[in-house]
Structure 1
Amino acid sequence: MGEVAQYANLFSEIHLPDGGFRTSGYSWLGSEWPAKKWKILDPDQPHLKPAWINFDVPAMAGQTFLDRPELVEDIKRSIAIAVELRTVLRRKRQGLFCGSRSSIRLFGQKLLRIYREILDMGFQGPSELDEEHLSELRNRLLYPERVSRQYPEKLLQLIEKKGIDAVPVKIVKSRKFPCHVDKARLQFMTGISDWRLSAECRQIVHDITQELAEKYPKYSWEEVDVNDAIDYASKTQARNHGNTLKLLHMQGELLQNDFAFPLKVDPYPDETPADFVDGSFARDGHPTRPCRGRTRNLPVPVFLKLMDASVRWLIDYAEPLLALEEQIVTEFNELEASLGNERARRVANARVRELSSESEWVDKPCSPFPLANFRHFRAASDSKYDDEFIGEVQTLLGQGLGARETGARLEISKSSVEFIKARYIDDRDSHSLRTTGVSLNYALYSYLPFCCSVILLAFTAGRESSIGDLRFGCMKKIAGLRYINLYIPKTLRRYEDLPTVELVEKAVSVLERLSATARKKTRSDHLFQFDDLVGDRVKGVRFDTVYPNFFDFIDMPRDEDGAFWKLSEHQFRRFFAIMYFYRYGKDNDSDFESLMYFLRHCDWSMTDRYLTEEEQGRIFREVEEEWLSHVIVTGKPVDQSLQNLMVDVNKVKESVINGTTIAREKDAERALKRVQDDGLVFEFLSFGAVCLGLSPGRAEIAECAIEIDGEFAPRLHKASESLCSGCSNYVVCDSLVSSKAPESPSLTPLACKSPILDAVLSQVESDDA
């Protein structure tokens, strides 16, 4: 009780005599403490117009802060401490100075933002944050909340999961005012703040409103203003958020017993928030995110590099990582009982480095071996002590000086000298071994689940929400074939069994092993939950924070602006559609209707966007040119119908191919380019054939050629099997499967049978005749 009394006397402004936190008697608080909305008066001029802090605002999807009373209480206490102890805090030069109603309101708003970010990261409160996640939080606070918490993605996820009819709207039957999307309810459902600040969100709501207007034409609907603005980061705002976070830590450190979730780890241990913000802006410029609309497709080589790395992790690296985890955890538990946690952890780190450096997968493409440590992810970086400085320490110690005297001469602490001796001179824990900088924990519970999700998205064509909902036991065998049970969110909104491949079965098996302990703790059968090597709680995986690290780890190319390529489920569904036709089309008689059914699309236009001429024509051309160039280089076409083409190729082969040393398949594209430059040009036709009509000297012999000012040109836009048959430039090639479909009188080979369209086309053709 003596300690409590002393504590209360030190901070009588905020504590009761018994040591409890005071919840009344504040001159600047014009409302009751439990109020949902605080009325803030100016501490020095209470007669001024008050400011307000509203706590009945979204904290996460379906919840406001009032649904989390412990968090609200922590936030309110933090505000009271910031105001009542503002003089003390100012002397310490920590955080914000809450000396006016506007600064108090600003501090409250910044606190609410910080707590929303923490909840969005999957934590219950600040006390659960470690150094790694605090670093993520600091980086999030550089950006506006609509960017860091991905407002547009959250809106799209809600619409995709529940459908457009679930979007809350205000219907005004009197037509006195236009009907419109209910902003407050929409924000509550998605857990976001004001979406109108985001140009992307306004575009989404505009599209929703347009669709609702078409569906319910008897009502008048609001026109949502959309401009082509960009989201930008303000240095001042970023500093304010940093100062708020710093003050929150100082409060939790000083008054830990007053908070349910005190922030224990210093978010800015080596620099001030202002220095951190200035440094980030100097390195990266003002972080901006253009209103980008639909996510761009990854270039083919970039996408295939991601697929290659993911498959390698699943097939080659998953089992060694899981085996190493089992061995290290066993050793760690035994060591912890005898040596204590700290020493056991250091020994475990050394064992991870030693054992992983002996792996057969060291230096393999995209390999995590050799690993850096046991639990914590650390990017590979240079030591802050250079070799020369370490040599000076070693020299002084070798002369018989103690750690304290050595530190005094070099102007560092005794503990720093002891650290340098243990780590760099004695190398007691094998720090000198070369590593990839990846921990066993991060490899197993961040990179590996990410790679599994890439495989699942690509080879099931499932949506992101479907993959995230996968359950234990979702794989089954029926009549010897593999099926995966997936939820179909957009169209059917029910679970379906879809045929799948062995690679998907392997990915599910790995996820089941990784999630086994977490599923026992939560009594839930979801696969994307993990009780990792830290073991403090069950966690999910935020792929938005994992994929940039993984992209850098495998040296993925960036876009023309130096930014990471964005991933979306549509890129993987497009990959599946293309593989379906290209890889399996010829041998399995694949057709558009089967693909449409597998994707669970309800009309042909939904599938068409994955296989438009603009999209699929380019990628098929790249794949087919690579394949055909290999045929030309080897001179051994498997397709007998290519023999005619080889006769023409042989005319230029001697001057190009035989004059070039080609030892690797990847040189095939270069060889084909040289063949084309030498005079033979291949034009791939949509019905599985090659035209040579663009080659020099061959245009005039084309059946479809026209003469313009003495120059001959083939009419490729008129190409068809019936017109080209018999032309000397026409080479049938059954191996080219792109867009192979029987000719149809309808306007598009992908369209459903339509008497109206056919009648229109017949009328156009008769007019042309």
Structure 2
Amino acid sequence: MSVISLNAYRSYFDDERGLSDLGSYYASWFVGASRFPDNQWVVEDKTGQQIIRFDVAVAPNELLTDNEDLCYAVKLSAYLARAITHDRKTGGLLSGASQYKYVNNIINHVRWLRLQGVNHLSSVNDGVFAFFRDSIANPLYVRLNLEDRLREKLDELQGIPACLEQYKVFRSRVGHVEFNNNKLSEALGVSDRLLGSAGSPMVVMLTNFRQHNGFYIKNSIKDRYAGGSVKETAETSSQDSIRKELTSISKLYRQCQIFKDLFPVSQRIPEDYFQKNNINPQKISKNMGRAGERTRDIPQPIFFELMDRAIRWVVDYAEPLLELDSQALAQYEEYVSQVGRGGKEVHKVHYASKKMRFWLSKQLEWLDGHPGSPYPISGFTKDTSAKKFESVLPAEQIQNGHALRAQGLTYQEIGERLGVSKATAHNLITKGVAVSGASLNKCLYHLLPTACLLVIYCFTARRQFEVESLQAGCCVDTPNGPVIRMYSAKVYQEHEYFPVTKLVAKAVRVLEALTEPVRNGESQSLLTFPALGGGEINYWSSGKVNEFAEYVGVPDNEGTPWQFSEHQFRRFFAMMFFYKFESGDLATLSWHLRHTDFEMTAKYITDKDFRRAFEEIKAERIVSFAQSAANARTEALCGNMQKELGDFFSSFDAVSESRAEKMIGKVEEIGYILNFVPDGACFGQTPTLLERSKCLMDDAVQTSSACRGSCVGCPNLLGFETGISAEDVGLVLDPASSPMLKAFADRQGAHNV
């Protein structure tokens, strides 16, 4: 047996007096007592905290911390990547979240190297790197040969019952025997998250294995994967995932050259193989990765319907739900106490939950018929399914049972008539009718927060990370209206105040009310909620918007869910601008954003993604005008542009499936520029139409001085017979609070008298 640890041989043979002792440094982004030598870092930035673990499996039954030099090298790379923020070329990271993802990518690279028999980074050579480069298009689980290794491990456990027993975990609180997924992932040398990747063959194999051996499986997992078969071929990794992974790994290779003396000798990668082979992560990802399909944009009527429902939840339904929350908790405790001291806890919960279903079905009846309302609420903590209910108690039997009961028959007599037991007859009568619906828990802590976030996303046009890092107290009332303190993640890397509408302020207040019971001095997050059944719920946005849309009755995308993204939310913002307010000028946009000067508005319109959304919506709006001009619905439109746009629309193939896309492309090619004036839509700034504008002066169209009637007869006007509706302007915002819009509304009022 070796007297010294070979993993730590550098401590005995290397002269390290010239090395910096990073372990003695305390980075500003470490939280509390976290230090460099720790095997678990708690790091933070201005938006929150992240936990980075180094005591993770990198090979079968071997942790990263078992190899001191390798663990030190990974920590050093993570430390340097975060510390050197002034130079992106050396691997600078700007946030705790990006540092967390960086470490995961590096550890996954170490796992791949270990699978190839490379135990130290210094052993990487041209052949190893070439193999890595050629395999990067495959998903991580394919590169780690995880499917075959998992199958072998499960076959091994199946054949040795004593080993399988070691993987059983009994949850006494719920009475379930679960499979120890963490133990299995360590045995395979991977993360448990990779084993549970949605849609992967490992999930199918594990689900079938659990079911075969009697382990507990969540219904959602069982319904989706149980009995399924494994795909024969894996899908190529996306361009984004390849680019992000290669970017992280290339930083490690570069660091080993720039800071060579800081790394242990055994972990010094000999060369920067990325630079040597002219490997650019951006280019190689485009050449080898799977291009993402263009998400179908959500049509304006559907998005408006969704936002109408979300606003109703925030404005009309939030307060009744919050009041019902406290009433329901008191009623639930009363039902639990009725069981008596001798009852088991599980029986008390079951009894109270059954009683609560009936009690809740009678609440909020005044909301019946309101669009997308939470009525009826079908349970306390669990949702109900009519399909599942009727599989146990058929609807016909329930109906017959109620009819016999109305005739005065006893449960015994009803059972004899229907051919069931007395107990079943009792259930037929007392369990009510089959309904599908959401529980109070789901309404309060899933649907209502989603509605609030939809409002915040769409009326601030901020990014997901910025919105989901909001803290209690972020919205403040000022003499000029409410402002919200949000993190600017892309450019400014700091918190800033943004003017918002009262609707956004209302949504924030609802989130504050929902999270108040679980907020404390350590966390003021607006996305951690109390659960009615006990514990806490950390809101996870994935799939929640589609869940909300389905609940409130918004149509899906021809049988498939819509893809909601930051870009779609910016599109809604642009829709409000062009469809509702009919005012496509900078001044109105600045007011709509509650900006005090145009410089603040420039932060939005100079953003590449936001500008793209605006250009798309503007093109779509022009196409919609063209369609109206060409169809029979022309009584509301007039002027020279009516005929031109009608001819433009009619020039496209009427049966083409891509007609709209072609028209939008043509609009962009022609360069139509749309602005709104009191008389309608002005196309005067379009380069090819500029010279014929009635108000042309000094080679510029004078849209800023346009008033009602001043543009009549202009060849570039698409006139609105009724003008622009002041009521439309006031749909979401109050014109009285804006001198500009107030004057406009006054002009409209005078015109309509």
Per-residue CA distance 1:464-488 (angstroms, 9 max, x = gap): 0111100000001233321001111
Measured after TM superposition, the shift of residue 495 of structure 1 is 0.6
Give 3-state SS (helix, strand or coil) of 1:476's partner.
strand
Contact 1:79–1:104, Cα closer than 8 Å, also in 2: no
Indicate the residue corresponding to 1:424 in structure 2. Answer: 428
Contact 1:530–1:539, Cα closer than 8 Å, also in 2: yes
Note closer, same or farther for the CA distance 1:326–1:365 as it changes in structure 2 (3 Å cut): same
* Matched letter for residue 324 of structure 1: L
User: Aligned partners of 1:436, 1:395: CA distance in 2, in Å?
Assistant: 23
Indicate the residue corresponding to 1:349 in structure 2. Answer: 357
Note closer, same or farther for the CA distance 1:156–1:445 as it changes in structure 2 (3 Å cut): farther
- 1:141-540, aligned counterparts within 5 Å? 168-171=251-254, 221=280, 224=284, 292-339=292-339, 340-356=348-364, 358=365, 360-381=366-387, 383-384=390-391, 385-390=393-398, 418=423, 420-425=424-429, 427=430, 431-432=432-433, 437-520=437-520, 523-535=522-534, 537-540=535-538
* Matched letter for residue 59 of structure 2: K
Note closer, same or farther for the CA distance 1:518–1:473 as it changes in structure 2 (3 Å cut): same
Contact 1:376–1:439, Cα closer than 8 Å, also in 2: yes
Per-residue CA distance 1:433-455 (angstroms, 9 max, x = gap): x8561211111111111111111
- 1:554-593, aligned counterparts within 5 Å? 554-560=552-558, 562-580=559-577, 583=581, 585=584, 588-590=587-589
* Matched letter for residue 421 of structure 1: A
Contact 1:559–1:565, Cα closer than 8 Å, also in 2: yes
- TM-score, structure 1 as length reference: 0.49
User: Aligned partners of 2:524, 2:229: CA distance in 1, in Å?
Assistant: 35
Indicate the residue corresponding to 2:549 in structure 1. Answer: 551
Contact 1:475–1:505, Cα closer than 8 Å, also in 2: yes
User: Aligned partners of 2:676, 2:603: CA distance in 1, in Å?
Assistant: 31
Contact 2:575–2:617, Cα closer than 8 Å, also in 1: no
Task: Give the RMSD, CA atoms, in angstroms.
Answer: 6.0
Note closer, same or farther for the CA distance 1:570–1:156 as it changes in structure 2 (3 Å cut): farther
Per-residue CA distance 1:307-338 (angstroms, 9 max, x = gap): 11111111111111111112111111222223
Q: Answer with 563-572 or 330-339: which moved more.
A: 330-339
Give 3-state SS (helix, strand or coil) of 1:550's partner.
helix
Q: Give yes or no for the alignment of 1:609 onto 2:615.
A: no
* Matched letter for residue 284 of structure 2: V
User: Aligned partners of 2:398, 2:329: CA distance in 1, in Å?
Assistant: 33
Per-residue CA distance 1:683-710 (angstroms, 9 max, x = gap): 99635489xxxxxxxxxxxxxxxxxxxx
Per-residue CA distance 1:68-123 (angstroms, 9 max, x = gap): xxxxxxx999998544218999xxxxxxxxxxxxx9999998976555679xx9xx
Give 3-state SS (helix, strand or coil) of 1:477's partner.
strand
User: Aligned partners of 1:312, 1:458: CA distance in 2, in Å?
Assistant: 15
Indicate the residue corresponding to 1:723 in structure 2. Answer: 692
User: Aligned partners of 1:595, 1:167: CA distance in 2, in Å?
Assistant: 41
Give 3-state SS (helix, strand or coil) of 1:486's partner.
strand
Indicate the residue corresponding to 1:201 in structure 2. Answer: none
* Matched letter for residue 554 of structure 1: V
Note closer, same or farther for the CA distance 1:532–1:400 as it changes in structure 2 (3 Å cut): closer
Note closer, same or farther for the CA distance 1:140–1:401 as it changes in structure 2 (3 Å cut): closer
Give 3-state SS (helix, strand or coil) of 1:303's partner.
helix
Contact 1:689–1:732, Cα closer than 8 Å, also in 2: no
User: Aligned partners of 1:688, 1:139: CA distance in 2, in Å?
Assistant: 50
* Matched letter for residue 428 of structure 2: Y
User: Aligned partners of 1:148, 1:424: CA distance in 2, in Å?
Assistant: 49
Percent sequence identity over matched residues?
21
* Matched letter for residue 314 of structure 1: V
User: Aligned partners of 1:403, 1:109: CA distance in 2, in Å?
Assistant: 62
Contact 2:585–2:675, Cα closer than 8 Å, also in 1: no
Note closer, same or farther for the CA distance 1:325–1:716 as it changes in structure 2 (3 Å cut): closer
- 1:113-132, aligned counterparts within 5 Å? 113-114=194-195
Per-residue CA distance 1:347-405 (angstroms, 9 max, x = gap): 2221100123x2x2111111121211111123443612324445787899999896999
Gaps of 5+ in 2: 1-55, 63-99, 111-150, 166-183, 204-209, 259-273, 340-347, 644-669, 678-683, 696-711, 725-753
Note closer, same or farther for the CA distance 1:169–1:628 as it changes in structure 2 (3 Å cut): farther
User: Aligned partners of 1:220, 1:229: CA distance in 2, in Å?
Assistant: 14
Note closer, same or farther for the CA distance 1:396–1:555 as it changes in structure 2 (3 Å cut): closer
Contact 1:140–1:148, Cα closer than 8 Å, also in 2: no
User: Aligned partners of 1:486, 1:497: CA distance in 2, in Å?
Assistant: 6
User: Aligned partners of 1:168, 1:468: CA distance in 2, in Å?
Assistant: 29
Give 3-state SS (helix, strand or coil) of 2:327's partner.
helix
User: Aligned partners of 1:104, 1:489: CA distance in 2, in Å?
Assistant: 34
**Residue from 673, 686, 695 that aligns with 1:686:** 673
Measured after TM superposition, the shift of residue 493 of structure 1 is 1.3
Give 3-state SS (helix, strand or coil) of 1:539's partner.
strand
Contact 2:243–2:285, Cα closer than 8 Å, also in 1: no
Note closer, same or farther for the CA distance 1:225–1:473 as it changes in structure 2 (3 Å cut): closer
Per-residue CA distance 1:535-566 (angstroms, 9 max, x = gap): 2x211223323333322223333335x31110
Note closer, same or farther for the CA distance 1:444–1:300 as it changes in structure 2 (3 Å cut): same
Indicate the residue corresponding to 1:85 in structure 2. Answer: 161
Indicate the residue corresponding to 2:40 in structure 1. Answer: none
- 1:640-655, aligned counterparts within 5 Å? none
- TM-score, structure 2 as length reference: 0.50
Measured after TM superposition, the shift of residue 573 of structure 1 is 1.8
Contact 2:483–2:499, Cα closer than 8 Å, also in 1: yes
Give 3-state SS (helix, strand or coil) of 2:303's partner.
helix
- 1:2-13, aligned counterparts within 5 Å? none
